[in-house]
């Protein structure tokens, strides 16, 4: 993971890498809950080089890979504040909608 620091640089500020690692506080089910700013839906928010992003999206891009255009990042744990890359998966909008329908029916 240390090689990720060079991707974001230091520029006299704490890197995104430092901020994210400091925020990890694993819960019993393995969720990493973002302790900083969240949006109205409960998703963690972070500013990366002036661009606002949801933390789980930034984590997916950092640790898993590129998100195909139009795809969504789904929380397998169903916790919007979680940013554990093991709990995230890339899905199509149709798949995402179906998963949420299935969960709502439980």
- Long-range contacts formed by 13-19: CB under 8 A, 24+ apart: 16/46, 16/48, 16/58, 16/62, 19/46
DSSP of 56-68, one letter per residue? HHHHHHHHT-PPP
Residue 22 CB neighbour total at 10 angstroms: 11
The whole-number pLDDT of residue 72 equals 97
Segments in the chain below pLDDT 70: 1-23, 25-28, 103-106
The whole-number pLDDT of residue 49 equals 80
Contacting residues for 64 by C-beta, under 8 A, at least 6 apart: 85, 88, 90
The whole-number pLDDT of residue 51 equals 86
pTM: 0.73
By three-state DSSP, how is residue 29 classified?
coil
62 with 39: CB under 8 angstroms? no
């Amino acid at each position: 993971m240390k090689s990720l620091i060079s991707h974001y640089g230091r520029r006299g500020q704490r890197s995104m890498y430092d901020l994210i690692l400091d925020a990890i506080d694993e819960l019993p089910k393995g969720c990493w809950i973002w302790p900083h700013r969240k949006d109205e839906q409960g998703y963690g928010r972070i500013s990366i080089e002036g661009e606002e992003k949801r933390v789980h999206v930034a984590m997916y891009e950092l640790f898993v890979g590129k998100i195909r255009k139009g795809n969504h990042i789904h929380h397998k744990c169903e916790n919007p504040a979680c940013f554990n890359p093991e709990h995230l998966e890339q899905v199509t909008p149709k798949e995402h909608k179906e998963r949420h329908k299935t969960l709502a029916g439980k």
